[in-house]
C-alpha cells in the first residue's frame, strides 16, 4: 500500500518537473507577474473553488471507505430494487437521504458499483443526488425568495433528466462502464465487530485486528482522496483561469438570443464548476438578465456536468461512456429547460 501511495504521489510530481525549465526562464519576471492583480484574483478564485469542493470530496471518500468496510456485496444486491423502474425512482430520490455534493458523489458511486450496484441506478444517483436534496432545495429557495417556481422547476427537471438517463443506460449500456470493473484489492466484507466470537480467540489478537482494520480504513480513504483530488485541482485551476481572464461582460454579450442564452448559461455553469449548494446565489445575479428557462438550465446542468466533475468521471468511467453521458445530459437539460420556459 505504501508503494502504491508513493506511485500516486510520483504521478502528481512528474508533470510538475516539466514546469521547472519554464519557471527558470521566466524567473526575472515571475515575481512581478505572480503579484499582478489578475493572478491574485486567479489564486483567490482557485483557492475558493478548491476549499468549497474539498470538504464534500473528503466526505465522499470517507463514506466510500465506510461502505468498503461495512457494506457487503450481498447487502447491495439485496437492497437494489429488481424492477428497473423502481430502481431509477429510488435512485433519483436517494439524495434526500444522502445529500452529497457532486465532488463526493463519484467516489461513493464507484464503490457501490464495485459492490454490485447496477450502472443505471448508479448514474441516476450521480445525476440527481447533488440537486434533489434538502440542502440544495433550501439554498435555492433562499437565493430566489420571490420566485419559488425556479426551485420547483430545478428539482423537477433534475429528477426527470436523471431518471431519463438512468432509463437510457439500462436499455443501451450492456457492459460495465467502469474503467476497472473489479476491485483489485481484497475487500473486508463486514466490520469485525459483526463476526461471531471464536471460543478460543485471544482478546489481544482481536484488538490487534481491530486496530489494523481501522488503519486500513484511513489508508484506503487517503489513497482515494489523493486519487480524486488531483482532478479537482486541475479542474479548479483551469476554471479559475477562465473566470479571471475572460470578463463576464464579454460572456454575457454572447448570450443574446433565444437559443444563445441557453447555450451561454449552460456553458457558464460548466466552466464555473460551482458547488450545487452555492450556484443558486450566482444564478440569482442573472435573474434580471435571463428568463426562467436559461436560469434553470444553469442550475440543473452545473451539478450534473462541469469541468472538474468531467475529469472525475473520466477517471472512473470509460471515455466513450462519459462522452455519451455528457451529450445526453446537455440535450435533455436544454430541451427540458426550454419546455419549462415555454409552459411557465
Lookup: cell for 57: 470530496
Mean predicted confidence (pLDDT) in 139-154 = 91
pLDDT tens string 85-114? 999 999 999 888 776 777 778 888 888 888
Reported as a single tens digit per residue, the pLDDT across 274-286 is: 777 778 877 887 7
Neighbouring CB atoms inside 10 A of 123's CB total 26
User: Could you tell me if 311 and 231 are in contact, meaning their C-beta atoms sit under 8 angstroms apart?
Assistant: yes
* Full-model pTM: 0.69
At residue 231 the predicted structure's pLDDT band, cuts being 50, 70 and 90, is low
Name the grid cell of 148. Answer: 419559488
Query: Does the pLDDT of residue 72 top 50, yes or no?
Result: yes
For the segment 196-210, what is each residue's pLDDT rounded down to a tens digit?
A: 334 444 445 445 455
Sole residue written with cell 430541451? 335
Beta bridge partners of 317: 178
Whole-angstrom Cα distance, residue 270 to residue 105? 17
Please name the residue ranges forming H helices in the chain: 2-17, 20-25, 27-34, 37-70, 73-79, 84-93, 102-114, 119-128, 134-143, 148-172, 203-245, 248-253, 260-272, 279-283, 292-304, 307-316, 319-343
Rounded Cα–Cα distance for residues 10 and 290 (Å): 46
| Inter-helix orientation angle 203-245/307-316, to 10° | 140
Mean pLDDT of 240-266: 75
Distance CA 325, CA 335 (A): 15
3-state SS, residue 317 = strand
How far apart, in whole angstroms, are the C-alpha atoms of residue 290 and residue 287? 6
pLDDT for 203: 46
What pLDDT, on a 0 to 100 scale, did the predictor assign at position 33?
A: 52
Q: Say yes or no to pLDDT of 191 above 60.
A: no
According to the model, what pLDDT value does residue 115 have? 82
Residue that has been written with the C-alpha cell 445529500 in this structure: 99
In terms of average pLDDT, the best of 74-83, 104-113, 138-147 is: 138-147
Give the 3-state secondary structure of residue 117: coil
Q: What grid cell was written down for 110?
A: 464507484
Q: What is the percent of the chain with per-residue pLDDT over 90, rounded to a whole number?
A: 28
Burial track 320-341 (b if 16+ CB lie within 10 A, e otherwise): ebbebbeebbbebbbebbbebb
- 316 with 110: CB under 8 angstroms? yes
Instruction: Please measure the distance between the N-terminal and C-terminal CA atoms of the chain and give it in whole angstroms.
Output: 56
Q: What are residue 178's DSSP bridge partners?
A: 317
Q: Return the domain boundaries, the chain.
A: 38-186+214-343
Could you tell me if 14 and 208 are in contact, meaning their C-beta atoms sit under 8 angstroms apart?
Answer: no
Nearest Cα to 317, choosing from 137, 145, 168, 179?
A: 179
Cα separation values, 336 from 56, 262, 340, Å: 28, 11, 6
126 vs 327: CA distance, rounded Å: 16
**SS3 at position 96:** helix
Contact 282, 270 (CB under 8 A): no
C-alpha cell at 56: 464534500
Most confident segment among 28-42, 237-251, 257-271: 257-271
User: How would residue 10 be classed by pLDDT, with cut points 50, 70 and 90?
Assistant: very low
Average pLDDT on 142-166 reads 94
Amino acid at each position: 500500500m505504501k508503494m502504491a501511495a508513493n506511485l500516486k504521489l510520483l504521478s502528481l510530481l512528474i508533470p510538475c518537473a516539466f514546469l521547472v525549465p519554464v519557471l527558470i526562464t521566466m524567473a526575472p519576471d515571475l515575481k512581478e507577474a505572480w503579484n499582478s492583480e489578475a493572478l491574485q484574483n486567479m489564486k483567490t478564485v482557485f483557492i475558493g473553488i478548491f476549499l468549497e469542493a474539498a470538504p464534500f470530496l473528503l466526505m465522499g471518500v470517507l463514506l466510500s471507505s465506510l461502505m468498503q468496510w461495512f457494506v457487503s456485496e450481498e447487502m447491495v444486491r439485496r437492497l437494489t430494487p429488481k424492477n428497473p423502474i423502481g430502481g431509477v425512482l429510488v435512485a433519483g430520490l436517494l439524495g434526500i437521504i444522502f445529500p452529497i455534493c457532486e465532488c463526493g458523489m463519484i467516489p461513493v458511486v464507484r464503490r457501490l458499483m464495485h459492490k454490485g450496484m447496477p450502472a443505471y441506478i448508479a448514474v441516476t444517483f450521480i445525476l440527481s443526488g447533488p440537486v434533489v436534496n434538502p440542502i440544495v432545495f433550501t439554498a435555492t429557495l433562499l437565493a430566489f425568495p420571490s420566485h419559488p417556481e425556479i426551485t420547483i422547476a430545478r428539482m423537477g427537471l433534475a429528477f426527470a433528466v436523471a431518471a431519463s438517463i438512468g432509463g437510457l443506460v439500462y436499455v443501451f449500456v450492456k457492459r460495465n462502464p467502469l474503467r476497472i470493473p473489479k476491485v483489485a484489492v481484497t475487500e473486508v466484507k463486514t466490520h469485525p465487530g459483526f463476526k461471531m466470537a471464536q471460543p478460543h480467540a485471544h482478546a489481544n489478537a482481536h484488538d490487534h485486528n481491530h486496530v489494523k482494520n481501522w488503519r486500513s480504513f484511513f489508508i484506503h480513504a487517503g489513497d482515494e482522496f489523493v486519487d480524486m483530488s488531483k482532478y479537482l485541482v486541475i479542474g479548479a485551476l483551469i476554471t479559475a483561469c477562465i473566470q479571471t481572464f475572460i470578463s463576464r461582460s464579454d460572456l454575457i454579450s454572447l448570450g443574446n438570443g433565444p437559443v444563445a442564452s441557453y447555450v451561454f448559461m449552460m456553458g457558464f455553469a460548466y466552466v464555473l464548476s460551482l458547488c450545487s449548494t452555492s450556484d443558486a446565489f450566482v444564478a440569482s445575479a442573472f435573474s434580471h438578465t435571463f428568463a426562467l428557462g436559461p436560469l434553470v438550465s444553469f442550475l440543473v446542468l452545473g451539478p450534473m456536468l462541469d469541468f472538474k466533475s468531467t475529469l472525475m468521471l473520466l477517471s472512473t468511467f470509460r471515455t466513450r461512456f462519459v462522452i455519451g453521458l455528457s451529450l445526453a445530459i446537455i440535450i435533455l437539460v436544454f430541451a427540458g429547460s426550454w419546455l419549462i420556459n415555454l409552459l411557465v
